[in-house]
Amino acid sequence: MAWSDSCSGAFEKWADEVGDDTFKFDTVSKYYRKGMNFTPPANTRSTNATPSYNPALVSQGGPLDVTYPAYANSWTTWVAVAMEAIGIKNTDSFIDGALNGSAWHTNTINHTTGTRASADRAYLRPYTQRPNLALFNGTLAECVVFNDDKVATGVEVTVSGNSYILKANKEVIVAGGVFQSPQLLQVSGVGPATLLKNLKIPVVADRPGVGQNMNDQIFFGVSYRVNIQTGSTLSRGEAAAISVEDFKANATGFLTTPGGEYAGFEKIPQDLRSKFSAETLKSTFASSAPPSHYLNSNLISKKANTSCHSPSNIPSRLARSRIPGHSQLRRQPRHLPCPHR
Ligand SMILES: Cc1cc2nc3c(=O)[nH]c(=O)nc-3n(C[C@H](O)[C@H](O)[C@H](O)COP(=O)(O)OP(=O)(O)OC[C@H]3O[C@@H](n4cnc5c(N)ncnc54)[C@H](O)[C@@H]3O)c2cc1C
String of b and e for 56-77 (b: at least 16 CB within 10 Å)? ebbbeebebbbbbbbbbbebbb
Based on the fold, state whether residues 33 and 98 are members of the same structural domain: yes
Highest mean pLDDT among 204-213, 276-285, 312-321, 323-332: 204-213
Q: What pLDDT, on a 0 to 100 scale, did the predictor assign at position 338? A: 60
Q: Long-range pairs for 228-231 at CB < 8 Å and ≥24 separation? A: 228/74, 228/75, 228/308, 228/309, 229/73, 229/74, 229/75, 230/73, 230/75, 230/298, 230/301, 231/73, 231/259, 231/297, 231/298, 231/299, 231/300, 231/301
Look at residues 206, 228, 263 and tell me which one is the last residue of a structural domain: 206
Tell me if 237 is assigned to some domain. Answer: yes
Sequence-separated (6 or more) residues with CB below 8 Å from residue 293: 263, 264, 265, 321
pLDDT, the chain, mean:
85
Least confident among 33-42, 171-180, 311-320: 311-320
Looking at the structure, tell me whether residues 73 and 200 fall in a common domain. Answer: no
Within this chain, do residues 79 and 201 fall inside the same structural domain, yes or no? no
The string of DSSP letters for 99-133 reads --EEEEPEE-B-TTT-PBP-HIIIIIGGGTT-TT-
Residue 337 pLDDT > 60: no
Which atom of ligand 1 is nearest to 105's Cα?
Answer: 8
CA distance 113 to 250: 8
Q: 333 CA to middle of ligand 1, Å?
A: 19
Average pLDDT over every residue of 14-42: 95
Is residue 115 located within the same domain as residue 31? yes
Within a domain: 296: yes
104 and 26, same structural domain?
yes
**Does position 220 have pLDDT exceeding 80, yes or no?**
yes
Q: Is the CB of 175 under 6 A from ligand 1?
A: yes
Per the structure, the complete domain to which residue 111 belongs is given by: 2-122+220-313
Same domain, 199 and 79: no
For residue 1 and ligand 1, the question of a CB distance below 6 A is answered with yes
Confidence tier at 293 by pLDDT (50, 70, 90): confident
- From 121, 146, 106, select the one nearest 64 (Cα to Cα): 121
Boundary-marking domain end, from 154, 174, 206 = 206
Same domain, 228 and 114: yes
- Radius of gyration (Cα) for the chain, nearest Å? 24
Structural domain count, the chain: 2
d(CA 179, ligand 1 centre) in Å: 9
> What number is the average pLDDT over the span 192-219?
93
Q: Is 141 in the pocket of ligand 1 (CB under 6 A)?
A: yes
Note whether 306 and 225 are within 8 A (CB).
yes
Testing ligand 1's pocket by substitution, the residue of 109, 180, 187, 218 carrying the most ligand atoms inside 8 A of its CB is: 180
In whole angstroms, give the CA distance from residue 107 to residue 94.
11
| One domain for residues 117 and 224 | yes
pLDDT digits (tens, 9 = 90+) for 72-123: 988 899 999 999 999 999 998 898 888 889 999 999 999 999 999 999 999 9
Instruction: Mark whether 116 and 156 lie in a shared domain.
Output: no
Whole-number Å distance between alpha carbons of 264 and 243:
28
Asked if residue 46 is part of any domain, the answer here is yes
Q: Is residue 330 part of a domain?
A: no
17 Cβ partners below 8 Å, 6+ apart?
none
Together in a domain, 92 and 224: yes
169 inside domain = yes
Is residue 180 within 6 Å of ligand 1 at its C-beta? yes
Same domain, 228 and 304: yes
Distances (CA, A) of 85 to 73, 185, 261, 318: 19, 47, 18, 11
pLDDT digits (tens, 9 = 90+) for 122-177: 999 999 999 999 999 999 999 999 999 999 999 999 999 999 999 999 999 999 99
Position 36 in a domain: yes
pTM of the model: 0.84
* pLDDT over 80 at 301, yes or no: no
Is 331 part of a structural domain of the chain? no
What's the 209 CA to ligand 1 centre distance in angstroms? Answer: 20
66 and 141 within one domain: no
How many Å lie between the centroid of ligand 1 and the Cα of residue 89? 31
For residue 17, report the distance from its CA to the centre of ligand 1, in Å: 24
Q: In a 10 Å sphere around its CB, with 0-12 CB exposed, 13-18 middle and 19+ buried, how is residue 188 labelled?
A: buried
